[in-house]
Structure 1
């Protein structure tokens, strides 16, 4: 039986490249000259931590990070920014968490969409992905098109296409 998996993954190397490009841009920008700005990527917790002097600079860094994520083809739906909070002294701390995997609510929404479409396929939730199986590859491609047009809170990739 043909099948595929709908997953949500982020290439951490591209996130690292975007963070490094942002650090380089900050080093050359006039408005950040002499500031105590620091950006770190923690690959274990999948979070980008920004420490800077003001909320205005934190917002500017957020915009720069988003721009570099887009250039690196990292979907911005998979990055969740928190508000800047005081970090002691005159510093502000902002964290951006990188979300991977399809959460349970989104997976249920995907399965419901597939069932409502009346396409002759079966969809099942498996941990942090949704597996779709059917008799015809054309049906699977119709499901991929359907999910591509849907407005979901997480970006989807389609892997393990088997015929």
Structure 2
């Protein structure tokens, strides 16, 4: 039976490259001279530090532009509110990896409520969708893309 997997993943290598490019741009910009503004990437956690809220906002815009150029979906970022720490303003950004159980249940419910001729099953941090025809699976992919879920989804492991 044909099947595919619904996943939500971020390429951490591309994230690292985007953070490096953003760091280089912040280091060379005149409005950041001597401000000790920095990005720190630790696994799937990213922290931004600057002297003011305005600089932090500028850093975020630079970072988002670099992510867009690298093909990293900004919808997969969870941004915490800025915090004043001493003379600096810091903000944490978390990269969302995998589909959590509430979103997986919502996806399965959407597929079942749409009355398509496919079955969806939760398998860890992904959802496997199977059906008898390839056209049914492609219809399901189109339906999920138009559903507007809160986390970006990728469809991989498509098998006939």
Q: What band does the TM-score fall into relative to the shorter chain?
A: over 0.9
- Cα distance in 2, alignment partners of residues 145 and 39 from structure 1: 37
2:54 aligned with 1:81, yes or no?
Answer: no
- Cα distance in 2, alignment partners of residues 70 and 128 from structure 1: 25
- Cα distance in 1, alignment partners of residues 138 and 38 from structure 2: 45
Instruction: Find the partner of 1:98 among 95, 98, 111.
Output: 95
1:50-89 correspondence to structure 2 within 5 Å: 50-88=48-86
The structural deviation recorded for 1:119 is 1.1
Unaligned runs of 5+ in 2: none
SS at match of 1:94: strand
The structural deviation recorded for 1:141 is 0.7
- Cα distance in 1, alignment partners of residues 4 and 156 from structure 2: 6
- Cα distance in 1, alignment partners of residues 36 and 24 from structure 2: 14
- Cα distance in 1, alignment partners of residues 152 and 78 from structure 2: 13
- Cα distance in 2, alignment partners of residues 58 and 97 from structure 1: 16
- Cα distance in 1, alignment partners of residues 110 and 82 from structure 2: 37
4+ residue segments displaced more than 3 Å: none
Cα deviation digits, residues 22-66 of structure 1 (max 9, x gap): 1111112111011111211111xx111112111111111111111
- Cα distance in 2, alignment partners of residues 67 and 4 from structure 1: 31
TM-score by length of 2: 0.96
- Cα distance in 2, alignment partners of residues 55 and 84 from structure 1: 8
The structural deviation recorded for 1:160 is 1.1
- Cα distance in 2, alignment partners of residues 38 and 113 from structure 1: 42
2:41 alignment counterpart: 41
Paired residues in the alignment total: 160
CA RMSD of aligned residues (A): 1.0
Cα deviation digits, residues 104-159 of structure 1 (max 9, x gap): 12111111111111111110111111100111111111101111111001111111
The structural deviation recorded for 1:87 is 2.1
